Amino acid sequence: MTGRTLAGRYRLLERLGEGGAGTVWRARDETLRRDVAVKELRGGAGFAERAIAEARAAARVNHPAIVMVHDVVTDGGLPWIVMDLIDGVSLDRLIERGPLPAPRVAAIGLRVLAALEAAHAHGMLHRDVKPGNVLVERDGTAVLADFGIAAPMTGEQSLADRAGSAGYTAPERLREEPAGPQSDLWALGATLYAAVEGRAPFRRDHPAAVAAAVLMHDPPAPVLAGPELGGLLLAMLAKDPARRPAPAAVRQVLDRIAATTSYRSVATAPVAPAVPHGASAVPHGASAVPHGALPVPARTGRRRRLRVAAAVVAVSAAAGAAIAWSTVTSPGDGPDRGRFAAAPEACDLLTVEQVRELVGQVTDPRMTKVDECTWNYLKRGVPYRWISVQTQAVPPHGETPAPEAARLLFEGMRRETDSEAGGDTAFGRQTRSRVRALPGVGEEAFARDYAREGANISRTVCSVWLRVSNLIVRVEWTRAEDGGVRPADRRTVLRAAERVAAGLVTPGPSGPSGG
């Protein structure tokens, strides 16, 4: 492919990166004698014409914080988008080195916000704001790249309708509801959260789990952002677009954070270029020079209890700031938010003593995910029996009260679980029971069993899903043993679920509290 000339003008020099939407090349514009970035888009029949129309619409947006689209050509039956070649490094590559200071993140946020407002003023949505599409040039200024899946705000079907990146796609888009400028601002909030905290706000192991977290979970309260920026980010990540702050309010806070510091301005702090990150749809740099020295938060040798205390203070302050934002941006007579403003800690829903009564000797509870806790029963130091509890608090859905939204979601989960079939797999024979209702456990509950027997490993899993108000909990009992599902397995998970439900319905002095 190297050396190929597109439309008699753009000669491909080297491949810079590759993502789900296509491949990005460094190319030479033989007419103007300059290097450009060329994005080769993938798609089937009818894709090229629509892609070109949308790229041409995006090219009308001219702003210094936006990577400009210069041309769109068709070659080999596929569309190619010609753009500025940015000599810099993507924000996700900077985050790999560690969290960025809040003032620097605020300055980056101001640039991206300006780019988005310019696009919105032209009737365009970006639809893929994420750290990989925010590029930081040599002089430290940030630009927003990849309007390749941008689309006009017309409400019509678009190539971008289901496009986006896991964890950076607003909940309303995942629900296939109409998207608007607030959807891009949600993605900006997720991007800035990742930059200042060093981790994505809805990080999970699998894309499906990420999407579920975006829809049903609140992000962890920011620790490193500080109370003002942390509160703003939580407000920007509200599930309901109407409850998110307006761009003017976002700019006011970012301006204040970026200005009140001795940290060098992002407009003047030098950034060394980096090898382009292959996962992005836009080139992340034009140089193979390794990362240069970048200011990152100092890592000190303070004692653990001081770090923990500081984290607790930061989390509490950010949560308080988020409440203040909610008071400003949300009407007090909105839909019922349910008993649980946030999911209780999963490890608090069962005590070690309760689990020992059910399964015998167990280890102390361990958070295996942000929203999941596991109690292990060890055999020769290896877990071979365990109980896990996973929680999710469901917020209101538009005007639908949170408990009703949770009920509808719960019913969908029941149907989906009942539709899952067993059969032969690469790991052995799988057997799944039908879903059965469990009256008297919480407000509603259902159970299902699953067994897998294979040459290398066998596993029996008995699960109970229950709902209390707007909280959905899954309780699971697992045995890594042969023999299939036994009556004792069903009794164990049922008793565990009953204990969890009892604590949620009638919490004791130290039990979980509602919102």
Rounded average pLDDT per 10-residue block, the chain, 515 residues: 86 79 84 88 62 67 83 81 84 91 94 92 86 85 74 45 72 88 95 95 86 89 89 93 92 88 37 34 32 30 37 50 51 71 88 87 74 79 80 82 89 82 54 91 94 72 94 92 85 95 66 47
Taken in order 216, 220, 225, 228, the sign of the CA dihedral is positive
CATH for 346-505 is 3.40.1000.70
- What pTM was estimated for this model as a whole? 0.55
Q: Where in the chain is the domain with CATH 3.40.1000.70?
A: 346-505
Is 4-84 CATH 3.40.1410.10? no
CB 475 within 8 A of CB 372: no
Element (H, E) at 304: helix 304-329
Q: Where in the chain is the domain with CATH 1.10.510.10?
A: 88-152+163-261
Q: Where in the chain is the domain with CATH 3.30.200.20?
A: 4-84
CA-closest candidate to residue 187, choices 205, 177, 198, 174: 174
Token representation of residue 217? 């979970």
Any idea which residues carry the catalytic annotation?
Answer: 128
CB 112 within 8 A of CB 142: yes
pLDDT of residue 417: 82
User: Residue ranges of the alpha helices (H) in 165-283?
Assistant: 171-174, 181-197, 207-216, 227-236, 247-259
Is 88-152+163-261 CATH 3.40.1410.10? no
> What does the alpha-carbon distance between residue 363 and residue 369 come to, in Å, rounded to a whole number?
17
Cα within 13 Å of Cα(459), Cβ side? 16
Looking up tokens 């699960």 gives 463
pLDDT of residue 487: 92
pLDDT of residue 137: 83
